[in-house]
Amino acid sequence: MEWGITQCSQWNGYSCSHFCQAMITIFSIITLPVEYDASNRAIVWLQNAGVAQQHELEGANDALKWAARTYLVSAIAAITYSHTIYLCFLEIEINHHIIQDF
């Protein structure tokens, strides 16, 4: 049997959501350096191409740096959300075992 999204339904809901959130988190972390590099390359291109004056370059530099930082915030949010989901499911699992032990 090939692995696919349909096999996700064979897991319980917790495992499927963990897997999906893990993929989102990994994607956010992997794209972070790519986006910073893209912003840096765009700044260099603007300087070398001569399409902007000095005062425009300063504004573009600032805008591109802040644009890259949105990816940093996204990665931090994904990590935080993944950790929160993990803690919630851990608490549910602990409570489930406590109830079963009664």
**Eight-class DSSP state of 31:** H
Residue 43 and residue 66: Cα distance in Å, rounded?
13
Q: Does 14 score more than 90 pLDDT?
A: no
Q: Does 3 score more than 50 pLDDT?
A: no
CB 11 within 8 A of CB 17: no
Helix ranges restricted to H, 1-102: 13-49, 54-101
- The distance of Cα 83 from the centroid of its chain, to the nearest Å, equals 13
Backbone angles phi, psi at 50, to 5 degrees: 70, 25
**pLDDT (0 to 100) of residue 10:** 46
Average pLDDT, the chain: 78
**pLDDT (0 to 100) of residue 98:** 64
Per-residue pLDDT tens digits for 39-64: 889 989 988 998 888 889 999 999 99
